[in-house]
Amino acid sequence: MTNIAISTSAVGGGEYAAAISSAGGKPRLLEFAPAALDTQLAGCAGVLLTGGGDVEPALYGEPPDLATEIDSRRDTFELALVRRARERGLPTLCICRGIQLANVAFGGTLVTDIGTAYAPSTAALHLREIDGQSERGLIAGHAVAVRPASLLAAIVPNSPILTGSRHHQSLARVAADLAVVGTTPDGIVEAVEARFASPFWLGVQWHPESTLADDDGASRALFAAFVGAASRFAERVNVR
């Protein structure tokens, strides 16, 4: 099986590791240790950046007032990770915080808090809580329109895609090296792909790892495409 490097704070990798395993990959959890980045990536043919706390606002020129759960050590590690993965041409999938971190890494900025920047009705679509807990399934109204002829459209051809969502931040100025390929009706960016050469590079703002059994195969198709690209990369460059 192909080794997939997963950067996450979830103990055991949680749903992310399960999704990779279900797609035929072998999850390898990374420690947030920049000095050990290359050692940890040895033998891996794909990189998955996952959800979590907010990216440090100072990294994209905003005040810290509305950010939560900042982990500077994780920021430093994942900024190096996503850039190294790009340098090596490793297939990369970025989820929620991951798409935000990658956008910052490549020169973009973030909306620090959707609830402050947008109308309350918009904010509710992107982070819905029931009895104090974030909704982990599909959210009615959180439908992502996919740009035709994009990588995402090739993977999930039926647009729009009904998705699950747990984010209070989003992409603001999209990095020049990334192209928007998915949005919700309120205009919030929900998916980007690389403008630079890559066998597979995709960022999604929603949580496909939590909806594998809920969306008629769209989430499974996403992980299958990612792991498939990593497997082909491993064969092509003889990753062991």
**Dihedral of alpha carbons 13, 15, 21, 24, sign:** negative
CB 180 within 8 A of CB 213: no
Active site (annotated) includes residue 44:
no
8-state DSSP, 206: S
CA distance 160 to 107: 28
The DSSP annotation for 109-174 comes to -EES-HHHHS-HHHHHHHB-EETTEE--S--TT-EEEEPTTSHHHHHS-SSSEE---B-S-EESSP
* Catalytically annotated residue among 44, 94, 96, 167: 96
* Catalytically annotated residue among 126, 142, 167, 207: 207
- The DSSP element (H or E) to which 25 belongs, if any, is strand 25-29
Active site (annotated) includes residue 207:
yes
Active site (annotated) includes residue 31:
no
Q: Give the residue numbers marked as catalytic.
A: 96, 207, 209
